[in-house]
Structure 1
């Protein structure tokens, strides 16, 4: 997506560097399962003219954020310099290190996947994950994304966010992802209504036809970031109703236990832990 064009107020700001935004868009054009792209592919996905893509790519190669595909002329691969950029952010999230053994244990107990996710724009982003069942056809990995409205993780974030944040994200989805919004808003609204009664959000094969999802948000942000804990299970593991009785209580216990470890109380709305 061409973010700098979509962000009209920012793009009109004299302090907004559109060239930098375009460079980020070039990097954002790469998707899992498609390791290399051509100028044409990037131009089609971002809306940036091909000559501009070529100039940006040449700069990104020199900086180590892109590299030329040695096996296919005229194609680019992501550069390893991106890992250097991402590492300080991931390393600064103390909650990841604290959650990792808990997620691993839970994944084994439910014979599925357990993950820690955050919001990234109109998507949800994995920042930690553990998987104990190789029959899961959806393989969560750090850095991969989930859609907001059709997934348990996205619905849980919406349930835990402030009314203003929730409305801002829903408005952005309506404008930037109209197909996702039209196809999933009713299910998301139903999950939001049920959250107060259930204490979790679920997705009954609404994102992936072969997977169930359950998610619980933390009761308050950590360093201004609302974290969500998510479980994924293959549909062949049993009925959604049976799993909904077994999995969310374990997931909620994990979240409450971690909140206690972090010293987060119900009324401590401005805690600042890493």
Structure 2
């Protein structure tokens, strides 16, 4: 697994603390499904020498961010990481404000309604609700999905400043050379949809049996872009339903959330 970044190169940045960067890269190696990772696996994922990784994992373990399993001879994330994530989530007013509106739309559409933010070349769920009838998409808070083929990711791309968007797309192209024409066509269509309707679609582009619609919320305080999406089974969420019904309802949800956030400023 190669490293991915959407941040400027920090090798020659005098203000950057390289040791801290490397420690955070180690923590980033742990993805959903990676309960345990050994030093060798982490070295491969970060591109750092194994002796360096050994020192980093030792330090992170001492600080409570990692824990070592004697049984498996590998590491797993520990409570200090959870504490950081919890502090981040609990202090986001948008989750509290959006929660009942998301639940209402999820039950109406019989689908999943999610709130996400960019995490390099992925979108990270920070809130998610699904109706009791949803069986196709069962992602939860902390899940990550691709930025280029999902409606959520495409909506984020449409809202990014041009320079940032071009940087992300260049990295997506490098990592998906053979599939780039198809991916680019989907992004171009999403841009047209966003310009015309205010939301983006993904109709089986990420997963064949999943359709979705998404739109961004750009906070007036200059904080990071948020994206709301509604996704579910393709046989339930047909194109016309997303375009004529669910999409407009999602835009209304975003307007209500944004108005409430602005009142809190």
TM-score (normalizing by structure 2): 0.88
Distance in 2 of aligned mates of 1:75 and 1:165? 37
* Local SS of the residue matching 1:206: coil
Measured against aligned partners, the alpha-carbon deviations of 1:139-173 in whole angstroms (never above 9, x if no partner) come to: 22222222111010111112223333323332343
Aligned equivalents of 1:25 and 1:177: distance in 2? 22
What SS does the corresponding residue of 2:9 show, helix, strand or coil? Answer: helix
**Residue aligning to 1:217:** 216
1:72-221 paired onto structure 2 within 5 Å: 72-133=71-132, 135-175=134-174, 178=177, 181-218=180-217, 220-221=219-220
Conserved 8 A contact 2:113-2:231: yes
Corresponding residue number in structure 2 for 1:10: 10
**Could you tell me which residue of structure 1 aligns to residue 239 of structure 2?**
240
Match of 1:230 in 2: 229
Instruction: State the shift of 1:251 in Å.
Output: 0.9
In 2, are the aligned partners of 1:2 and 1:22 still within 8 Å (CA)?
Answer: no
| Partner deviation per Cα, 1:1-34 (whole Å, 9 max, x = no partner) | 4468x96731122332222222111111112122
**Distance 1:98-1:3 versus aligned 2 partners, 3 A rule:** same
Query: In structure 1, the residue corresponding to 2:11 is in which secondary structure?
Result: helix
Q: Distance in 2 between matches of 1:63 and 1:73?
A: 21
Instruction: Find the residue that maps to 1:11 and give its secondary structure.
Output: coil
What RMSD over aligned residues (CA atoms) do the two structures have, in Å?
A: 2.5
Q: Which runs of 5+ in 2 are unaligned?
A: none
> Partner residue of 2:258?
259
Taking the aligned partners of 2:165 and 2:188, their CA distance within structure 1 comes to: 11
Count of residues in Structure 1 that have an aligned counterpart in Structure 2: 264
How far is the alpha carbon of 1:243 from its aligned partner?
A: 3.9
Higher relative contact order (CA 8 A, sep 6+): 2
> 1:181 and 1:86, CA in 2 relative to 1: closer, same or farther beyond 3 A?
farther
Cα 1:51–1:138, aligned 2, differ >3 Å: closer, same or farther?
farther
Question: 1:42-85, CA deviations, whole angstroms, 9 ceiling, x for partnerless residues?
Answer: 12211122222222111111111111225x33111111110112
Contact preservation (8 Å) 1:114, 1:231 = yes
Gaps of 5+ in 1: 265-271
Aligned 8 A contact 1:112 1:131 in 2: yes
Q: Tell me the distance in 2 between the aligned counterparts of 1:251 and 1:207.
A: 20
Say if 1:165 and 1:109 are closer, same or farther in 2 by CA, change over 3 A: same
Q: Is the 8 A contact 1:221 1:227 kept in 2?
A: no
| 2:67 aligned residue | 67
Q: CA deviation at 1:245?
A: 2.6
Aligned partners of 2:134, 2:249: CA distance in 1, in Å? Answer: 21
CA distance 1:162–1:51, shift in 2 (3 Å): closer
Q: Which residue of 1 aligns with 2:19?
A: 19
Q: Secondary structure at the match of 1:118?
A: strand
